[in-house]
Structure 1
Amino acid sequence: MNGEQIKNALQLVKKNDTDLRHVRVSQVQHDTRKVTENTCFVCIVGAVVDGHQLADEAVAKGATLIVAEKELSVAVPVLYVNDTQKALAQLSVLATGNPSSKLGMVGVTGTNGKTTITHVVASILDDNNRSSGIIGTMYSKIGDRQIPVANTTPDSLTTQQLLADMVADGLTHCTMEASSHALIQGRVRGIDFDVAVFTNLTQDHLEYHHTMEEYFLAKSLLFSQLGNAYGEQGKQKLAVINIDDAYGERLIPLTAANVLTYGCQGRGDIQAQNVVVTNHGTSFDLLFLGEIYPVTMKMIGDFNVYNILAAFGACYGLGLASEAIIRSIAKIEGVKGRFQLVPNHRGVTAIVDYAHTPDGLENVLKTINKFAEGAVYCVVGCGGDRDPSKRPVMADVAMTYATHPVFTSDNPRTEDPTEIIKQMTRHLSGNKYVEIVERREAIEYALSKAEKHDVVLIAGKGHEDYQIIGTTKHHFDDVEIVNDYFAKH
């Protein structure tokens, strides 16, 4: 690339009379640690670091062109724009060859279910001779490679590079979680989504979005911008929306794309009826386009029925036949840390789940109550430096649906875990619950009290293999703790 191509890609560049045709650019970058010769450095104003303050460092490392919002005095040409986040997205698409236009792209947003749906869609695609990558909470996955991620949805440059790697590896599709933070911050700009899925909207992330209306606005951007790529257009677009969620209904008029709705309450283009949940699987009838398809799956719970309906809609939108999708669903084992059963010889049903919102926890506990033959222990906490208003609500859910709530630490981060638990329980009365600050001790307590046919739910961390105390990550895996306990007892 040369400087003029960069300038043209940005379109709305403030007056710059410099001839940039001689400026060579080999890569686009916003991290000075990755700047090499002939880099175009984009100055991003971050929460901690302002990239404009690092422009001289970038030039010293070989940057030949700077993109900025603020006035700079550096030894190389500067292109000034109003929004460097948007510029980064535009240039990332240019630098990587617009890879999303070469993939069947599925974006999934909502409070709960994103990880499960992206994995289910990828499994169905793979089972039908497509090859799908994943970008999400647990990792990014390209073929057999799993790449650690810092955020559910990476920045626009990282995402475009991941998509380019998928194209280079011969993949045909990508399923991607689109978090509310990423949507409002423009991290998914320039991605040519073919299918957008909405799961639900319940209380979460209000420490960032402040109100549910702002939270909804962030989620709605995936649908209002469906088809927002900076490259060629032409692929059919489809929105798959949970009609049983009140916010889902509000999304329908916000998108110009075709819409498939799904639900379990008698409405929707895709419906589930006659749902039967056991401790080893779920069955139901799927209604679509006048046909009834019996579905038997290994995944457990009404919330997973919703996830399957969403995945069905997405895969149908990508061109798969209904019968082929149903056959593939029966083979899916589930997702790590999502209602994950931990086998043991005690006859206790031990479950590790990521439920960390009031709605998520309620859904999981309601599912457990459908098959539980004995007592239900619920080990749960709340994360530090996150929305404090949901803490007493989480406790109320555990008190309502579990016979033995055990309140403990989650990821306390920079907060006092004892104070977090107090905020969860100070409004409660009686002796139905216990408080145990150390998470390992709390898990072992619940397992020690549980008898044959009892259920122990360990909620909040799911797939995570760490606990954040202060600003440090310590190794901690709920499944490992459960296995260690049963191995010793």
Structure 2
Amino acid sequence: MKTIKDLIKGTSITLESGSPETEITSLVYDSRKVKKGSLYVAVVGANVDGHDFIDQVVEAGAAGVVVEKDVTVPSDVAVLKSSDNREALALLSAAWFDHPADKLKVIGITGTKGKTTTTYMIKSILENAGRKVGLIGTIEAIIGDRHIPASNTTPESYIVQDYLSQMVEIGCDAAVMEVSSQALMLHRVGGMTFEIGIFTNISPDHIGPNEHRDFADYMHCKSLLFQQCRHGIFNADDENLEGILKGHTCTVNTYGIEKPADFEAKDIRLVQEPGYLGVNYKVTGKENFDVTIDVPGRFSVYNSLCAIAVCHFFNVSVEAMQKALKAARVKGRIEMVKVSDDFALMIDYAHNAMALESLLTSIREYHPKRIVTVFGCGGNRSKLRRFEMGEVSGRLSDFTIITSDNPRFEEPAAIMKDIETGIKKTDGKYIMIEDRKEAIKYAIDNGQKGDVIILAGKGHEDYQEIRGKKYPMDERVLIADILAGR
């Protein structure tokens, strides 16, 4: 239990009325969870204003409320004021959990692509070097043996601090986390200093009414991480690096392939064997050794270079890095699944045109006999995505199998027709098979020597969402069932 004075120490949050010695039993930002003695933070969201529930939380026994607006409450309820309650929530959460980030080496990764894979690579290498590492990301949070499914790339600030606190409790000495532009904009990682901040790359994404107003705003929000970390590691090849560095307060180290950098990849060799794709290269600069990765593509080189740069800070041995990089896997991110010696099959989360184009372009560098792409699009989402993904697959795949993804409240056939509209803008060959298992079976049954089959869109997801209900559907299980029935 903490007092109001404990929680607001060192912040710009002011106590407008009430006693600073008031004891607080819980910190809450969801009005439905307020109990006797809670401190309630009224957050203004896109659709709901937490200030509308002040009377409700007072009735439930709140000891205090944190507000941005003037409110009227009984005299026994403390009123605290801030200029931005999202920032206030982050600062209060850090204090509530005794500033766990100060007890860990926290590594934050921001960028349009590569965040998820890089977090797992870093975790793998550091653990091979004997450290105990927690993870917070798009797929899940990992705290010891616990795997907690994620709903956001970066959770709300209270949850971030809670997770970090739990990591400290079980003896973690490091944590690696994905930091989205939304998280930086909404102060979800406020109240803490990162040991290392990482920039992977940036391209137009997440721009719209409920996200970023334009690319400049998107880039600015990404850059905020580098005013909140001690050391920065940056992709030297990204054309927007100068914009990301604007206002940085951290040290700067770079990695890259094309431009001079502190960690450079030389002699890149794409490796293709029966049912297998990978890549070899030599890292030069601040580290010098040979690298082998069982994940194909140039972007895998970037991700692994970044991981090497991080581990350089931790003085990880070359042997530990080589071993971990060879073993690093990420569920649903260029995940190779062995089904045949004749062709390769992979599962990837690519669920928009930009990600799909990047993936297909990378695989094309291996000169496969054919690229066969199996994908659908989610329902109740922009139709433009369907047209764009159809056009990309038609242009870059040799054969496309249009199928169902998460139709939600739309008819799968209607979504598939939209994808077909995009593919018809190209000369790409295609077939439409609504049942996803049957679509995958068709791809495997008709696989030819030298093919690469890509199952795109679902990635780590192990469900299919239909009319408000999630049904179990894991592509790995579907593949196993198909192979068992052959």
Gap change, CA 1:426 and 1:41, over 3 Å in 2: same
What does residue 96 of structure 2 align with? 95
User: Alpha-carbon deviation of 1:117?
Assistant: 0.6
User: Alpha-carbon deviation of 1:111?
Assistant: 1.5
- Per-residue CA distance 1:210-262 (angstroms, 9 max, x = gap): 53333222222212x324xxxxxxxxx11111121212342234312111111
- The residue identity in structure 2 corresponding to 1:447 is I
What does residue 262 of structure 2 align with? 269
Residue 374 of structure 2 is aligned to residue 379 of structure 1: yes
Query: Separation in 1 of the partners of 2:58 and 2:142?
Result: 34
Gap change, CA 1:203 and 1:459, over 3 Å in 2: farther
Residue 484 of structure 2 is aligned to residue 482 of structure 1: no
User: Any residues of structure 2 matched to 1:218-257 within 5 Å, and which?
Assistant: 218-223=221-226, 225-227=227-229, 237-257=230-250
- The residue identity in structure 1 corresponding to 2:251 is N
Instruction: Give the TM-score, by structure 2 length.
Output: 0.90
- Greater alpha carbon shift after TM alignment, 151-160 vs 329-338: 329-338
**Segments of 4+ in structure 1 off by > 6 A?**
none
User: Any residues of structure 2 matched to 1:31-430 within 5 Å, and which?
Assistant: 31-75=30-74, 76-207=77-208, 208-223=211-226, 225-227=227-229, 237-278=230-271, 279-289=276-286, 292-317=288-313, 319-321=314-316, 323-324=318-319, 326-345=321-340, 347-371=342-366, 373-386=368-381, 388-415=383-410, 417-427=412-422, 428-430=425-427
- Greater alpha carbon shift after TM alignment, 253-262 vs 382-391: 382-391
**What is the aligned-residue RMSD (CA, Å)?**
2.4
What does residue 20 of structure 2 align with? 20
What does residue 232 of structure 1 align with? none
Whether contact under 8 Å (2:395, 2:426) holds in the other structure is no
- Per-residue CA distance 1:392-437 (angstroms, 9 max, x = gap): 3333332232110223333344555445444444251546123344
- Per-residue CA distance 1:431-483 (angstroms, 9 max, x = gap): 61233444334323322322343221001121111223344333222222222
Gap change, CA 1:465 and 1:371, over 3 Å in 2: same
User: Alpha-carbon deviation of 1:322?
Assistant: 5.8
Query: Separation in 2 of the partners of 1:292 and 1:8?
Result: 47
- Greater alpha carbon shift after TM alignment, 39-48 vs 389-398: 389-398
Gap change, CA 1:327 and 1:159, over 3 Å in 2: same
Gap change, CA 1:141 and 1:4, over 3 Å in 2: same
- The residue identity in structure 1 corresponding to 2:44 is V
User: Alpha-carbon deviation of 1:488?
Assistant: 1.6
Instruction: List alignment gaps of at least 5 residues for structure 2.
Output: none
What does residue 448 of structure 1 align with? 445
User: Alpha-carbon deviation of 1:265?
Assistant: 1.4
The SS at the match of 1:66 is strand
What does residue 30 of structure 1 align with? 29
User: Alpha-carbon deviation of 1:373?
Assistant: 4.4
Query: Separation in 1 of the partners of 2:141 and 2:13?
Result: 33
Gap change, CA 1:345 and 1:5, over 3 Å in 2: closer
Whether contact under 8 Å (1:205, 1:387) holds in the other structure is no
Q: How many residues align?
A: 475
- Per-residue CA distance 1:128-156 (angstroms, 9 max, x = gap): 11111000111111111112222111000
Query: Separation in 2 of the partners of 1:35 and 1:100?
Result: 26
Query: Separation in 2 of the partners of 1:157 and 1:274?
Result: 45
Gap change, CA 1:415 and 1:192, over 3 Å in 2: farther
Instruction: Give the TM-score, by structure 1 length.
Output: 0.89
Query: Separation in 1 of the partners of 2:95 and 2:303?
Result: 34
Gap change, CA 1:379 and 1:146, over 3 Å in 2: same
Query: Separation in 2 of the partners of 1:247 and 1:383?
Result: 31
What does residue 233 of structure 1 align with? none
Q: Identity of aligned pairs, percent?
A: 36
Query: Separation in 2 of the partners of 1:202 and 1:468?
Result: 29
Gap change, CA 1:444 and 1:218, over 3 Å in 2: farther
- Per-residue CA distance 1:365-414 (angstroms, 9 max, x = gap): 23333445432210123334555544433333322321102233333445
The SS at the match of 2:288 is strand
User: Alpha-carbon deviation of 1:276?
Assistant: 1.3
Instruction: List alignment gaps of at least 5 residues for structure 1.
Output: 228-236
- Greater alpha carbon shift after TM alignment, 354-363 vs 264-273: 354-363
Query: Separation in 2 of the partners of 1:118 and 1:356?
Result: 20
User: Alpha-carbon deviation of 1:331?
Assistant: 4.0
Query: Separation in 1 of the partners of 2:408 and 2:133?
Result: 34
Query: Separation in 2 of the partners of 1:453 and 1:472?
Result: 39
User: Alpha-carbon deviation of 1:2?
Assistant: 1.7
Query: Separation in 2 of the partners of 1:243 and 1:349?
Result: 32
The SS at the match of 1:406 is strand
The SS at the match of 1:433 is strand
- The residue identity in structure 2 corresponding to 1:246 is E
- Per-residue CA distance 1:31-88 (angstroms, 9 max, x = gap): 2343333211111122343322333333343321111223333332222322211111
Whether contact under 8 Å (1:9, 1:94) holds in the other structure is no
The SS at the match of 2:126 is helix
- Greater alpha carbon shift after TM alignment, 106-115 vs 202-211: 202-211
User: Alpha-carbon deviation of 1:98?
Assistant: 0.6
Whether contact under 8 Å (1:243, 1:249) holds in the other structure is no
User: Alpha-carbon deviation of 1:333?
Assistant: 3.6
